[in-house]
Amino acid sequence: MQYISTRGGMQPLPYCETLLEGLAPDGGLAVPETMPTVDGETLERWRALTYPQLATEVLGLFATDIPRADLARMTAAAYEPFPEAVVPLRAIDDDLTLVGLSEGPTLAFKDMAMQFLGQVVEYALERKGSVLNILGATSGDTGSAAEHALRGKDRISVFMLSPKGRMSAFQRAQMFSLDDENIHNIVVDGVFDDCQNLVKKLAGDLDFKRAQNLGAVNSINLARITAQVVYYFWAWLRATDVGGWTEVSFTVPSGNFGNILSGFFAKQMGLPIRRLVLAANENNVLDEFFRTGVYRPRSAAQTLATSSPSMDISKASNLERFIFELVGRDASRVVSAWKDLDDKGHFDFTADLSRFIEEFGIVSGTSTHADRLATIEAVYDASGDIIDPHTADGVKVAREYVEPGVPMLVLETAKPQKFAETIREAIGVELEYPSELRAMLDAPQRTTEMADDEHELRAFIEANALR
């Protein structure tokens, strides 16, 4: 299995080399040269596997340059910190089932991919005899999941940008309380899109990228996308009967289009998915795109601070991988679309709008703060479950697309403890924290504050990068 760029300017590379690259040299994103496929017989054979075993099988289709025994060792190590039920499914009513993705060390779905990413990046670096300086941006959960997966690793340093004042107190504590020498938390005076733009500017400077050994852990990283594919297969296998070829639908709270892209990959691989339902918050650029065909990102000033902050994103990095498939893998049309975005502030695929649903099965909807509060309250009253605000966005939008006879699975985003203020507002419940989490919240925090300044960031990385 080899990987190419969505913009056509990268020679095919194997998995391990691709995941160390981050952005492709031409500024595009890595995609499989040919998408692997899975048939019904294989799916049935996978029903009896544990989560690490299933991860080995699915990832083995993508990481063909890694010996199977090494891959099995890494998936076992990646999911060791999780409880025995790595991804539990639980019904919250007759229509909706939650896919539990927040059992990992930072209580968010990002752990599902990041724990594997920490293993495979270290493996690739040891094999190559090199080091990597991870440059990333986070709107909340990516940063903490990455830092907890990569802390203390000898060959890796992490430079994580986050927007000042835009994350919950719990999210800040999970990141800023870490005192490992290889972790650098950089608080940028701006919004998430400003942080993401800084990352892209530095990653797009190939001389700087090579000189500083820069890599990425954002959802542009191939290992994250492929690791997230696994739980779509896992959830389907547990929501369907033996021997059946039942279609299911998935609803995915989405800001950067990474998590739902993994579901799109799973559907392309042959998993029987009827609908992929994208749930947006008030920063609903993606919902507008899938409803109208016009993609028009907002400025930093127009990007709202909401009670589902991990989705406060107006420019979705991973949408380019979907556009690549939409235009029939024509890299020149991808480049043209992004030129329109730079020149006009938008690109237009209204001519392809019917294909979004008919061919790709993608639909979408928006949830507001009032919707989140009402949904959290309704779920709590009906089932006793407390869900976080991002999951509430998913539940609200999922109800708009429930179809008779088609199971609707909603991907859980995080534990509610990460968003205690919103939970208190919705249902008046004060969430309890175990002693280790309380200690984390009370611990000193270590950050570097910085303007939205490319040159200042360059200088900081040059002074602190691993060589």
Q: How many CA atoms lie within 13 A of 271 on its CB side?
A: 28
Residue type, 307: S
110, 153, 200, 415: the catalytic one is 110
Residue type, 444: P
Instruction: Tell me whether residue 245 is exposed, middle or buried, using C-beta atoms within 10 angstroms of its C-beta: 0 to 12, 13 to 18, 19 or more.
Output: exposed
Asked if 110 is an active-site residue, the reply is yes
Q: Which 3 state secondary structure label does DSSP give 447?
A: coil
Cβ atoms of residues 280 and 247 within 8 Å: no
Antiparallel, parallel or unpaired: β 183-188 and 30-32: unpaired
Q: What angle do CA 106, 185, 227 make, to 5 degrees?
A: 40
The single-letter DSSP state of residue 19 is: H
Instruction: Tell me whether residue 131 is exposed, middle or buried, using C-beta atoms within 10 angstroms of its C-beta: 0 to 12, 13 to 18, 19 or more.
Output: middle
**How far apart, in whole angstroms, are the C-alpha atoms of residue 250 and residue 397?**
11
Tokens of 73: 């060792």
**How far apart, in whole angstroms, are the C-alpha atoms of residue 7 and residue 327?**
12
**How far apart, in whole angstroms, are the C-alpha atoms of residue 379 and residue 377?**
6
Instruction: Let me know how long the chain is.
Output: 467
Closest by Cα among 417, 428, 412, 414 to 380: 428
Q: In the chain, what is the straight-line distance between the N-terminal and C-terminal CA atoms, in Å?
A: 30
Q: Annotated catalytic sites, by residue?
A: 110
